[in-house]
Amino acid sequence: MAGTATKEQRPVKPDAATLDEWRQWLRMMVLIRRFEEKAGEAYSLGRIGGFCHLYIGQEAVAVGTISALRPEDYVISAYREHGQALARGMSSRSVMAELYGKATGCSGGKGGSMHLFDAGLHFMGGHGIVGGQIPLGAGFAFAAKYRGTDQVSLTFFGEAAANIGAFHETLNIAGLWKLPAVFVIENNGYGMGTSVQRSSAITDLFERAASYDMPGVVVDGQDVVAVRKAMDDAVRRARSDSSPTLLEVRTYRYVGHSMSDAAHGTYRTKDEVDEYQARDPILVLANRMREAGALDDAAMEAIEKDVMAEVEDALRFADESPEPEPESLWTDVYAPRPASRAESRDN
Ligand SMILES: Cc1ncc(C[n+]2csc(CCOP(=O)(O)OP(=O)(O)O)c2C)c(N)n1
Ligand SMILES: [Mg+2]
């Protein structure tokens, strides 16, 4: 009922714990933004090689979803995953060093930008094959259910990946077997230079959930608070009822698909980019905090300063770290054979 704000509808003033969370989310989103800007610069200077897909503009998706998880829950993603790795708790140093291909990187310098892994944090990659991670994400959910733990599996993928066969096969089985999974479509409107309108028969992608007997939810990805709320509901369904959710987050990337295409490309207008930037997720949260009296210019400057010090430190660390030893080419190729299996086979 537009314009008839009753007492109940008036926004409740956030309590201290909420404001504290918002502060953490703001810092994390600023960290991801500055980290990515500096990674882009380092790429242009030839310090980072190979593929590199920046996350600038999409920060609220990683922060709003991952912050709802417990440490033992699983996270798996595609190649645009630097921000998700940071939001999951990987250090700026280990992510930057991986982008630099250094031995101190999270994957020993052998994975690079698209293959960030940290099994201790249950961050299961970083995958370069479009949609390849979607069945794996369901696999983690199946493992949790099979073992009787209450872990939840969160799988990220782009809206273009939602057109591949593995998406449909996975959601079918996740719906049928009631897996504790949250499937997040990061709908940034484009798969490389092709808009969702040109590649999908329906553009309300969350509606595809109906075919797989699971709730389909859509949320504004410029608003981290809204993303978190939708994710809280999805996690509750997964953990308590062992049931999956398809969560479509409408987001936007401000920069090119990867380092090889121009800032906004020929497939979209600068006006379109400007429109999203006017509702930048960092700005939206910062304004919300200012309205609640929880942020002023000095506090924002302090966050920026603190974050820049962290990113500069990560760049220095990556720069000074050693290259992987040539012998390391032979390690981490296959998992070591467990001793018990080795014995039974040899006998
Ligand atoms: C199986 C496969 N096909 C094609 C590619 C090339 N490719 C890399 S990214 C991409 C677009 C994917 O777009 P989307 O899923 O929307 O994710 P976004 O890049 O927008 O985050 C394509 C086609 C690939 N890596 N793997
Ligand atoms: Mg996309």
CATH number of the domain that residue 124 is part of: 3.40.50.970
124 inside domain:
yes
Rounded to the nearest whole angstrom, what is the distance from the C-alpha of residue 249 to the centroid of ligand 1? 17
Minimum-distance ligand 1 atom for the alpha carbon of 132: 1
Provide the CA 10 distance to its chain's centre, in angstroms: 32
Rounded to an integer, the average pLDDT of 19-35 is 98
Question: 264 and 256 in contact (C-beta within 8 Å)?
Answer: yes
Amino acid at 250: R
Instruction: Please determine, for residue 209, whether its predicted confidence score (pLDDT) is greater than 90.
Output: yes
Does 180 contact ligand 1 (Cβ within 6 A)?
no
What pLDDT, on a 0 to 100 scale, did the predictor assign at position 309? 98
**Cβ–Cβ < 8 Å for 193, 265:** yes
- Ligand 1 atom with the shortest distance to the CA of 129: 26
Taking the C-alpha atoms of residue 300 and residue 288, their distance in angstroms, rounded to an integer, is 13
The pLDDT value recorded for residue 261 is 82
Closest C-alpha among 253, 258, 254, 310 to residue 43:
258
Distance in angstroms (rounded) separating the CA atoms of residues 109 and 104: 7
The pLDDT value given to residue 139:
98
State if residue 80 touches ligand 1 by the CB under 6 angstroms criterion.
yes
pLDDT at residue number 85? 98
- Residue 11 pLDDT level (bands cut at 50, 70, 90): low
In a domain, 173, yes or no: yes
Number of domains in the chain: 1
159 CA distance to ligand 2 middle (Å): 5
Whether 33 shows a pLDDT value over 70: the answer reads yes
- pLDDT value of position 1: 34
- Summarize pLDDT for 63-113 with one digit per residue, the tens: 999 999 999 999 999 999 999 999 999 999 999 999 999 999 999 999 999
The residue range of the domain holding 288 is: 16-259+268-324
For the record, the structure tokens of 261 come out as 């295409």
- Cβ atoms of 204 and 226 within 8 Å: the answer is no
User: Is 125 part of a structural domain of the chain?
Assistant: yes
Within-domain flag for 10: no
- Give pLDDT, residue 337: 79
Say if 7 falls within a structural domain.
Answer: no
pLDDT at 2 over 80: no
Q: Give the closest residue (by CA) to ligand 1 atom 3.
A: 130
In a domain, 345, yes or no: no
Query: Taking residues 169-175, what's their average pLDDT?
Result: 98
Atom of ligand 1 nearest to the CA of 128: 25
Q: Measuring CA to CA, which residue among 148, 176, 328, 320 is closest to residue 239?
A: 148
pLDDT of amino acid 145? 98
Residue 239 corresponds to which tokens in the numbers above? 């953990």
Helix-helix angle 281-291:16-44, to 10 degrees: 150
Which residue CA neighbors atom 20 of ligand 1 most closely? 191
**CA of 26: how far to CAs of 22, 30, 220, 250, 295, in Å?**
6, 6, 17, 19, 10
- Give residue 189 CA to ligand 2 midpoint distance, Å: 5
pLDDT more than 90, % of the chain:
89
The finding on whether 161 has its CB within 6 A of some atom of ligand 1 is yes
With H, G, I as helix, E, B as strand and everything else as coil, classify residue 13.
coil
Q: Is the CB of 58 under 6 A from ligand 1?
A: no
Q: Is 250 helix (H, G, I), strand (E, B) or coil?
A: strand
Q: Evaluate: CB of 62 within 6 angstroms of ligand 1.
A: no
Single pTM value for the model: 0.94
- For the Cβ of 164 lying below 6 angstroms from any atom of ligand 1, the answer is no
| 40-71 tens-digit pLDDT | 999 999 999 999 999 999 999 999 999 999 99
Residue 253 has pLDDT above 60, yes or no: yes
- Angle between helices 224-241 and 281-291 in degrees, nearest 10: 100
Establish if 342 belongs to a structural domain: no
Atom of ligand 1 nearest to the CA of 188: 20
pLDDT at 335: 82
Q: Which residues place a Cβ less than 5 A from the ion ligand 2?
A: 158-159, 188, 191
Burial 109-122 (b: 16+ CB within 10 A, else e): bbbbbbbbbbeebb
Give pLDDT, residue 45.
Answer: 96
Averaged over 164-183, what is the pLDDT?
98
Closest residue by Cα to residue 72 from 182, 183, 153, 179? 153
Q: Is residue 248 part of a domain?
A: yes
